[in-house]
Chain A
Amino acid sequence: MVTREDVENIALLSKLFVPEEELDSLTQSMQEIIDFADTINNAPTSGEAFDNINNLSNVFREDEVVKSYSSEEILSNAPEQAENHFLVRNRE
């Protein structure tokens, strides 16, 4: 069961502000998301682990330097920037 406290906690961890009046509807939405994801638990399995479904292992790169992007490119999607840095405003 997803509770209001769960939603508040997740919001806090995600640094999101959730207005009081939206808490109930968000709690319900989250419950629906969890229920949907839970349908996977009903899939018939033989109990093996699914954390490596491709059965791949040891996919590595060699330690060779590849040219980095320019700071202009790196910052091109930044909501705000200053002096070649990403700028994060303090909202408090």
Chain B
Amino acid sequence: MSYELVAGFETHIELATKTKIFCGCTTQFGGEPNTHCCPVCIGLPGTLPKLNREVVNFAIRAGLAVHGEIAEVAKMDRKNYCYPDLSKAYQISQLYAPLIIGGYVELSNGRKIRLHHIHIEEDAGKLIHQHGDTYVDYNRGGVPLIEIVSEPDIRSIDEAKEYVEKLQQVMRYIGISDCKMQEGSMRCDVNISVRPQGSEKLGTRTEIKNMNSITNIAKAMEYEFERQTDLIESGGQVVQETLRYDDATGTTSSMRSKEDAHDYRYFRDPDLVTINISRDEVEKIKATLPELPADKCKRYIEELQIPEKDAQLLTKYRKISEYFDEACEGVKSPKTVSNFIIGQMFSRTETEADKEEFAVATTPAQLNELVKLIDDGKIRNNLAKSTLEKMLDSGKGTLDFISESDMGGLDENALNDLCKQAVESNPKAVEDYKSGKEKAIKALVGNVMKNSRGKADATAAEAKIKEIIN
């Protein structure tokens, strides 16, 4: 029998606010242990948490970007658990009245992964387990998080990867988080179950905690899918439990024993008052959102005639898409701009981090100027390409590399002479062409291009050569 994978995600994203959620301590990553702390974020008795306005604004931005409904009334709750990463023995979170309800993330196959809700909460401290004891650093304690809870709508590992990438992309676009999985500013818990293909009933799920890379998410899900399938095939039953994924062995293992089963006893936090969100405020925040990646991608394909694959590459990172938008200003062929970015610039920004920054030596205005020279018929595409290479390597502008004479193009007579010359000096290619080898003409055109130093129009040269030979 074949089995279907069913998965849902709980994604924690650290918000890029300057200060923590309930106090004025900095949210900066790193720092000496326990130096970004105050009585509020280490949970001393008698302290009063006060909600950071920006956390609410950022969460609303997130909600709008994934088509969620912004609640009119939201409240904070206490989630009780006893563990050293949380000195108060409760985490301030939201259960009964979260800020954002519903929403979805649309995948490239057209499927919509529905979201259950998005809530805000405080992050816990960092634990270092050493010599059997635990060392606690509360710098991260109280850093604001949003938790995005999806419905169990994911049906394959590819969908899971794309879901996480899409969330990461959109949250970076709207500027609420850097979503660096390796630094822990984005972390996923994956709920996974299997069921016989065609069945409607959900199987028993397990939860893999704290996944910190897309590669590991994929590997852990693959392992867990196999494990659960094998278990059911051999007559066993999946036990609902929380698992950890071990990168070194590529396996999952149980994190807690049964007796440790969580009972969070949530209740309303009496220290924090109700949050009312007016529709006016929501509209104001909506007006500050940038064009979202999905909309941009659609516009590039439909209005600028960029191939879908290229449009996806251009919109993957916000800075690249903004570079493209600026460089396209008033050009006749956005496709040329796109080709130069993907061809010449991507080879110089190889890592994800480089693409994220997209600090290339040529400005969008310089690329714009270069492409307009092609538009105006002043230079040919291949001269532009080689010029761009020089611009990128040296950081200098177009006019440093293209002289006035380069921009003259080639007149009819000069083209004629060069074509004649190409035919006379390459009898073998001419012979090949005459005997039916269509491709042999390319060698002759190449000869003309070379001798004209890229100034000739290849299409015109090919026509002229054919005319001479026949």
Contacts and interface: CB of A to CB of B under 8 A. Distances in A.
Interface of A: 9, 12-15, 51-52, 54, 56-66, 68-71, 74-75, 77, 82-90
Nearest to A83: B135
Contacts of A13: 80-82, 263, 265
B31 to A, nearest CB: 9
In this complex, the interface size class of chain B, counting residues with CB under 8 Å from chain A, is 35 or more
Given A60-B51, A86-B34, A89-B133, A74 B275 contact: no
Contact of A59 (B19, B50, B128, B265): B50
Contact of B35 (A54, A61, A62, A70): A70
B42 interface: yes
Contact of A71 (B24, B32, B52): B32
B284 to A, nearest CB: 15
17 contacts: A9-B263, A13-B82, A56-B273, A58-B276, A59-B272, A60-B52, A60-B56, A63-B18, A63-B53, A63-B54, A66-B19, A69-B38, A74-B34, A74-B37, A74-B42, A85-B136, A86-B87
A63 B37 contact: no
A69 B37 contact: yes
Interface of B: 17-19, 23-26, 32-39, 42, 44, 50-56, 75, 80-82, 84, 87, 89, 128, 132-138, 259-260, 263, 265, 268, 270, 272-276
B132 to A, nearest CB: 5
B33 A68 contact: no
B274 A56 contact: yes
A76 B138 CA distance: 14
A91 B186 CA distance: 33
A69 B36 CA distance: 7
Contacts of A66: 19, 23-25, 38
A72 to B, nearest CB: 9
Nearest to A59: B273
Given A56-B273, A58-B274, A68-B35, 10 more contacts: A13-B81, A62-B54, A66-B23, A66-B24, A66-B38, A71-B33, A74-B138, A75-B34, A77-B44, A83-B135
Contacts of B25: 65-66, 68
Contacts of B268: 51
Contacts of B24: 61, 64-66
Contacts of A69: 37-39
A8 B46 CA distance: 29
Given A58-B276, A85-B135, A68 B36 contact: yes
A53 B36 CA distance: 34
A62 B270 CA distance: 21
Given A68-B38, A85-B34, A90-B132, A52 B53 contact: no
